[in-house]
Amino acid sequence: MSQQLGRLSRRGFLVGASAIATTGAISFFGLKGDRAQASVNAAANHAGTIPFWGIHQPGIVTPEVAAALVVALDVTARSPAELTGLFQTLTQRINYLMTGGRLEPLDPRYPPSGSGILGASFAADNLTVTVSAGASLFDDRYGLAALRPKHLTEMPKFPNDRLDAALCHGDLLLQFCANHNETNIHALRDILKQLSGLVVLRWQITGFQQPDADAHPRRTTVRNLLGFKDGTANLNSQDSRLMNRLVWVQRESGEPPWAIGGSYQVVRIIRMFVEFWDRTALDEQEEIMGRSRDTGAPLGYSHEEDIPNYAKDPKGQKIPLDAHIRLANPRTPATEANRILRKGFHYSRGIDQAGQLDMGLLFIAFQQDVQRGFESVQNRLNGEPLEEYIKPIGGGYFFTLPGVANQDGYLAQSLLEAV
Ligand code: HEM
């Protein structure tokens, strides 16, 4: 699954970012009236820097990058005050890391101020760090139980899942995205050092993709490890009205007020049986997905962007009734509200005990309501023919905290102050 960010490629984003720097244009994300976000966008001083401050966290509607690192943590803070300190430090470090800069020289009798893996100074490199909370953070440790987002539960097990407990859930989830793996690792190590004693690592997975890999006269879509273009029919993340309707929690969403501006994040680590897939006939592969492998067009159509008309194909003669795209989005008025913002990466973890390639999809999705979004889509997909070739093995449900509007604030402030 690729993070197909609307119609904006990474190359387009970089051009856009430098245009902002020179013209001072203020509404990069199209978030009308969102002054805090806009002023910071205008202040982005060079391409490659994604603003941290804003009503939503970065890393959700920000353009495709090549490298991801998803890290789940458990919190070991011993009091609400320590938890507040954790989020304050996290906020300050993320802003520092996303801005880029120099490592502060320290007395050499002490450990240096950073790992140094990027040298004495480091670039922003389009880094984003996105912080989400798992249902377990809202237990009785910090008095947060009454403030749990309405739909936040531990991720259930779906029929085709074979979940590895060592790859599931967590109190916090950090999603690092950047142009390079080293930037993500540099940021993770900095944060772990600063949060020493307050968090422990639970699981992590590295994701990668090659944005703009598949040259196309008009647009490009990343292919997943099954060889299919993935992200074609994704939501246009640059459409702020659509994002407000389907992705960001709103005042009228019925959530605790502190959660407004946040979003539900689903992570699924989905193993692909690629050797088996590679021995499957092309016709069958295409019927399973519902699209042409070469062009990405829905079966029976010519172009990737063509919108399948399922009403005109009630028996599934063009696109089988159980094709992945048809089940995922039947394109009916009733299923419109189930649409989700997908953002995916490949993963590769070597070889399993049976001598098979251990690789697959690091599936990430954002939505305003995890039940109305991911869960409804997944429940329609349960039993799909694609299941023979995939096996979800980990992940979790999380709630992405609202953004931090300006330098006076910190992540989770609205939550902690509501206690
Ligand atoms: C390894 C597992 C998966 C693979 C290989 C896969 C692959 C694809 C491909 C190739 C497409 C067509 C291109 C596109 O519009 O993006 C697609 C579409 C889609 N997939 Fe998946 N997918 C996987 C898992 C999932 C999961 C777990 C969900 C959500 C529960 C999901 C939801 C969707 C949705 C909503 C669409 C768009 C359908 C449309 O609007 O026409 N996919 N997927």
Identify whether 296 is part of a domain: yes
28 in a structural domain: yes
- A 10 A CB-CB count for 96 gives 15
The reply to whether 257 falls in a domain is yes
Find, among 311, 313, 289, the residue nearest to 232 by Cα: 289
The residue contributing the CA closest to ligand 1 atom 8 is 230
Q: How far is the centre of ligand 1, averaged over its atoms, from the C-alpha of 328 (Å)?
A: 7
Contact in structure between 255 and 372 (CB atoms under 8 Å): no
Residue 310 is assigned to a structural domain of this protein: yes
Structural domains counted in the chain: 1
Nearest to 245 by CA among 123, 389, 366, 122: 366
CA of 414 to the centre of ligand 1 (A): 34
Which residue has a Cα nearest atom 18 of ligand 1?
A: 325
Residue 144 within any structural domain of the chain? yes
- Please tell me the predicted confidence (pLDDT) of residue 401: 99
Task: Indicate whether 226 belongs to any domain.
Answer: yes
Distance CA 142, CA 83 (A): 8
5 belongs to a structural domain: no
Query: Could you tell me where the DSSP H helices lie in 47-195?
Result: 80-99, 181-194
Q: What was the pLDDT predicted at 10? A: 36
Ligand 1 pocket mutation, candidates 324, 335, 372, criterion most atoms within 8 A of CB: 324
Quick one: which atom of ligand 1 is closest to the CA of 378? Answer: 30
* Residue 1 counted as domain residue: no
pLDDT in tens, the chain (419 residues): 433 333 333 333 333 333 333 222 323 333 333 433 433 333 333 459 999 999 999 999 998 899 999 999 999 999 999 999 999 999 999 999 999 999 999 999 999 999 999 999 999 999 999 999 999 999 999 999 999 999 999 999 999 999 999 999 999 999 999 999 999 999 999 999 999 999 999 999 999 998 765 555 455 789 999 999 999 999 999 999 999 999 999 999 999 999 999 999 999 999 999 999 999 999 999 999 999 999 999 999 999 999 999 999 999 999 999 999 999 999 999 999 999 999 999 999 999 999 999 999 999 999 999 999 999 999 999 999 999 999 999 999 999 999 999 999 999 999 999 99
Instruction: Give the structural domain span for 342.
Output: 10-417
Please state the pTM of the whole predicted model: 0.90
Which residue has its alpha carbon closest to ligand 1 atom 33?
Answer: 328
